[in-house]
Amino acid sequence: MEADRLAQAGETMQAIAVQAPGGPEMLVLQARPVPRPGPGEVLVAVAFAGVNRPDVLQRRGLYPPPPGAPDLPGLEIAGTVAAVGEGAPDPLLGQQVCALVAGGGYAPFCLAKARHCLPVPPALPLEEAAALPETLFTVWHNLFERGLAQAGETLLVHGGTSGIGTMAVMLAKSRGLSVIVTCGSDEKCAAALKLGADHAINYRTGDFVAEVRAITGGAGVQLVLDMVAGEYTQRNCDCLSPDGRLVTIAVQGGAKAQVDMAKLMVKRLVLTGSTLRARPDPFKAALTQAVAREVWPLVAEKRLRPVMDRTFPLAEAPAAHRRMEAGEHIGKIVLAMPVAQDESEAGEEGR
């Protein structure tokens, strides 16, 4: 079937491109060449693509693709391998995979490095598989490889109902941590608690620093996963216990911060952070292996699943971005490619 899809695709496909930096209306369908896999690459017939905050930043002109990456947005995909390049394992052909990609996911066909792919377990819908790579790789690396999270510790997660936040809650709980989250409404706090968070703080109505101190009996948390930065940075440090670690993965509140270095020295704090998209391929391959070894068994056993918000057809990518920017979502937003959408509609009619 996938070989047929590749043959039928011809030389071009309809993909979502960024016409010019700006609002969601700058996401437009464009005819693009169907890519062909090079050495070590596979061509994936995409069924679903995840929507992530870096896609929004790219659309605004604030997060350009790294050198050599496609200019189309989209950093995680799920589908079936339709072709393999030289050096890519032949057994991958025809297999369902999800993959971390450096761009190009908002399209019916997308190139991925073979070593950046994970097999989709039989019980995992492709829609959910597409919601995992960017989020799961980011959370695993920053919490457990950079943040050195350990069972018995307490973690503070900002944006507890975002795609990253929900995954951080579930993964941390699966490994024996206690989790405090901040959210922007009582409804979202309730959703985070239902998901497994031990405590949820409405940052619009309360001071999260004071509430963290109260929850921990003044001891503070050992680890903070932060997507805000800016003025949150010192407040995060104030939440940390001695020898605590602050891991920053986004700067939604501003890239610059003032930090009381005397407090940092007295408490022996570690401030770190990372981005994923521009990291070299060998690093991403090693990260894929770590996720396959440490986390993928939980996915295969149905013990770890992404929290899904809404699925939009590819052509409605602007609406998907509007929903993300409005902050209304709880969990992951994904895009359905036309074939996946048609198959889903056919299945619904047959029921």
Q: Could you write out the three-class secondary structure of 177-197?
A: CEEEEEECCHHHHHHHHHHCC
Residue 83 in tokens:
């072709």
Which residue type does 139 have? Answer: V
Q: What is the distance between the terminal CA atoms of the chain, rounded to a whole angstrom?
A: 23
Give the per-residue pLDDT at 1.
39
Average pLDDT for 234-247: 98
| 2-132+306-350 is classed CATH 3.90.180.10 | yes
Give the per-residue pLDDT at 339.
77
Rounded Cα–Cα distance for residues 109 and 340 (Å): 12
182, 315 contact by CB (below 8 A) = no
The residues near 102 (Cβ < 8 Å, ≥ 6 apart) are 65, 66, 68, 69, 70, 75, 277, 278
Average pLDDT for 261-281: 96
Quick count: other Cβ atoms within 10 Å of Cβ 278? 12
Instruction: Indicate the CATH number for domain 136-273.
Output: 3.40.50.720
Give the per-residue pLDDT at 305.
95
pLDDT in tens, 158-190: 999 999 999 999 999 999 999 999 999 999 999
Give the per-residue pLDDT at 349.
46
pLDDT in tens, 87-118: 998 899 999 999 999 999 999 999 999 999 99
Average pLDDT for 203-209: 96
Residue 231 in tokens:
């003025």
Distances from the Cα of 162 to the Cαs of 107, 109, 166, in angstroms?
24, 27, 6
To the nearest whole percent, how much of the chain has pLDDT over 70?
A: 94
171: alpha, beta or left? (left if phi > 0; alpha if psi -120 to 50): alpha
The residues near 117 (Cβ < 8 Å, ≥ 6 apart) are 42, 44, 81, 92, 97, 98, 99, 288
pLDDT in tens, 112-149: 999 999 999 999 999 999 999 999 999 999 999 999 99
Q: What is the mean pLDDT of the chain?
A: 94
- Bridge-based pairing of strands 199-202 and 178-183 is parallel
Place of tokens 């819908």: 125
pLDDT in tens, 10-32: 789 999 999 999 999 999 999 99
The residues near 289 (Cβ < 8 Å, ≥ 6 apart) are none
**According to CATH, where is 3.40.50.720 located in the chain?**
136-273
Give the per-residue pLDDT at 350.
44
Which residue type does 245 have? Answer: R
Q: Is 341's pLDDT higher than 70?
A: no
Strand partners, 32: 13
Backbone phi and psi for residue 10, each to the nearest 5 degrees, phi listed first: 70, -145
DSSP, res 26: G
Q: What is the pTM (predicted TM-score) of this model?
A: 0.91
Q: Is 8's pLDDT higher than 60?
A: no
Rounded Cα–Cα distance for residues 322 and 25 (Å): 9
**According to CATH, where is 3.90.180.10 located in the chain?**
2-132+306-350
Helix/strand/coil (H/E/C) assignment for every residue in 93-147: CCCEEEEECCCCCCCCEEEEEHHHEEECCCCCCHHHHCCCHHHHHHHHHHHHHHC
Give the per-residue pLDDT at 5.
54
Average pLDDT for 69-94: 96
Supply the Cα-derived Rg of the chain in whole angstroms. Answer: 20
Strand partners, 13: 32
